[in-house]
Amino acid sequence: MKTALVGLVALIVALTAVFWPQPAEAHALLARADPPINASLRESPTRITLFMTEQLQRTHSSVKVLDSAGQRRDIGETEFSDEVPTQMGVRVLKLDPGVYTVVWETLSEVDGHTWTGSYVFSVLNPDGSAPAGSGVEVDLNRPGPPVAVDSAVKAVGLGALILFVGAVFISALLRPSPLPRLLPLIAVAVIVGIAATAYEAIAGALRLGDIGFLDDVLFDSRNGFWLQQRWYALIVAAIALTFSLRSPSLRREDASSSPSPSLQGEDASSSLSPPLWGGDAAGRGGARALLATLAVVAVVWLASASAISHGAAIGSGWIWGTLFDALHLSAAALWIGGLVSLVIAIRGNAESRIESVRRFSAVAAASVPVLVAAGLLSALIQIPNVNGIVDTGWGAAFLIKIAILLALFSAAGVNAFFLRPRDESADGQDSALAKRFGRMMRLEALLGLSVIAVSAVLTQLPSPASAQPEIEQKDNTIVETFSRGEIIASLEFSPNLVGFNTWTATITGAQDNPVEALLLRFRYADRSVGPVTVPATRMSEGRFQLEGAYFGLPGTWTVEMELRRATGDDLVVAVQSDVESGFQSSPFAADSGGALGLPLTQMDWNGVGALWAFVLGGLAWINRPRIRRFWGPRGGDAAFASGLLGLIVAVVLLTGLHVEPGRTLANPVERTAESVEQGAALFAANCASCHGETGAGDGPLADSLPAPPANFTVHVPFHPDGVLFAWITDGIRGTGMPAWSPQLSDQERWDLVNFLRANFDVTAAQ
* Tens-digit pLDDT profile for residues 529-576: 778 888 999 888 889 999 877 887 778 899 999 988 877 777 888 888
Whichever domain contains 561, its CATH number is 2.60.40.10
> Is 430 inside any structural domain?
yes
For residue 458, what are the contacts with CB-CB under 8 A and spacing of at least 6?
A: 310, 394, 397, 398, 401
Could you give the CA distance from residue 162 to residue 298 in angstroms, rounded to a whole number?
Answer: 9
Domain presence at residue 410: yes
DSSP code per residue over 210-257: SGGGHHHHHHSSHHHHHHHHHHHHHHHHHHHHHHHHT-HHHHS--TT-
- Cα–Cα distance between 267 and 632 in angstroms, integer? 11
Both 306 and 365 in a single domain?
Answer: yes
pLDDT of residue 78: 93
- CB-based burial, 661-699: b 16+ in 10 Å, e otherwise: bbeeeeeebebeeebbebbbebbeebbbbbbbeebbbeb
Q: What does the pLDDT read at residue 704? A: 63
- The DSSP symbol for 108 reads B
Number of domains in the chain: 4
Query: pLDDT per residue over 218-239, tens digit each?
Result: 887 788 889 999 999 999 999 9
* Tens digits of residue pLDDT in 58-104: 888 899 999 988 899 999 899 998 877 788 999 999 999 988 999 98
Question: Which range among 20-34, 301-315, 491-505, 601-615 shows the weakest confidence by mean pLDDT?
Answer: 20-34
Is residue 130 within 8 Å of residue 122, measured between CB atoms?
Answer: yes
**pLDDT at 17 > cutoff 60:** no
Average pLDDT of the residues in 334-349: 86
Q: For residues 733 and 95, what is the distance between their CA atoms, to the nearest angstrom?
A: 33
What percentage of residues in the chain have a pLDDT greater than 70? 81
**Final residue in a domain of this structure, among 579, 614, 634:** 579
Domain CATH code at residue 78: 2.60.40.1220
Least confident of 25-34, 124-133, 327-336, 735-744: 25-34
Could you give the dihedral angle defined by the CA atoms of residues 343, 346, 352 and 357, in that order, rounded to the nearest 10 degrees?
A: 0
- Confirm whether 734 is domain-assigned: yes
Collapsed DSSP state (helix, strand, coil) of residue 500 = strand
Averaged over 356-364, what is the pLDDT? 84
Residues 46 and 103 in one domain: yes
97 and 187 co-located in one domain: no
CA distances from 740 to 50, 86, 469, 749 (A): 15, 15, 20, 8
CATH code of the domain containing 694: 1.10.760.10
**Same-domain status, 599 and 457:** yes
Q: How far is CA 27 from CA 84, 207, 227, in A?
A: 21, 14, 22
Write out pLDDT tens, residues 392-431: 777 888 888 888 889 888 888 887 777 777 766 766 566 7
Q: Is residue 238 part of a domain?
A: yes
* Rounded (10°) angle between helices 281-307 and 318-332: 140
Q: What is the mean pLDDT of residues 324-336?
A: 92
Residue 168 and residue 317 in one domain: yes
Three-class SS of 120-158 = EEEECCCCCCCCCCCCCCCCCCCCCCCHHHHHHHHHHHH
**Assigned domain for 450 exists:** yes
Q: Which residues pair with 499 in a beta bridge?
A: 551
The reply to whether 711 falls in a domain is yes
| Statement to judge: residues 153 and 117 lie in one domain | no
Residues 538 and 563 in one domain: yes
**Cα Rg of the chain (Å, integer):** 32
Q: How many residues are listed for the chain in this entry?
A: 766
Higher pLDDT, 563 or 655: 563
User: How many other C-beta atoms can be found within 10 angstroms of the C-beta atom of residue 754?
Assistant: 26
From 107, 123, 139, the end of a domain falls on 123
How does DSSP classify residue 486? T
- What is residue 196's predicted lDDT score, i.e. its pLDDT? 92
Same domain for 341 and 444, yes or no, is yes
What is the residue range of 745's domain?
673-765
**Does one domain contain both 111 and 163?**
no
d(CA 233, CA 214): 20
Q: Is there a single domain that holds both residue 63 and residue 176?
A: no
Q: Who's near 439: CB < 8 A, 6+ residues apart?
A: none
Q: Is the pLDDT of residue 160 over 80?
A: yes
Instruction: Of 303-312, 453-462, 634-643, give the lowest mean pLDDT range.
Output: 453-462
pLDDT value of position 75: 92
In a domain, 570, yes or no: yes
Asked if the structure places residue 250 within a domain, the reply is yes
Q: Which of 570, 603, 636 is the last residue of a domain?
A: 603
In the predicted model, is pLDDT for residue 171 greater than 70? yes
Which residues pair with residue 604 across a beta bridge?
A: none
- In a shared domain, residues 172 and 230: yes
Say what the pLDDT of residue 381 is: 83
Higher pLDDT, 87 or 462: 87
Mean pLDDT along residues 727-746: 78
User: 354 and 493 share a domain?
Assistant: no
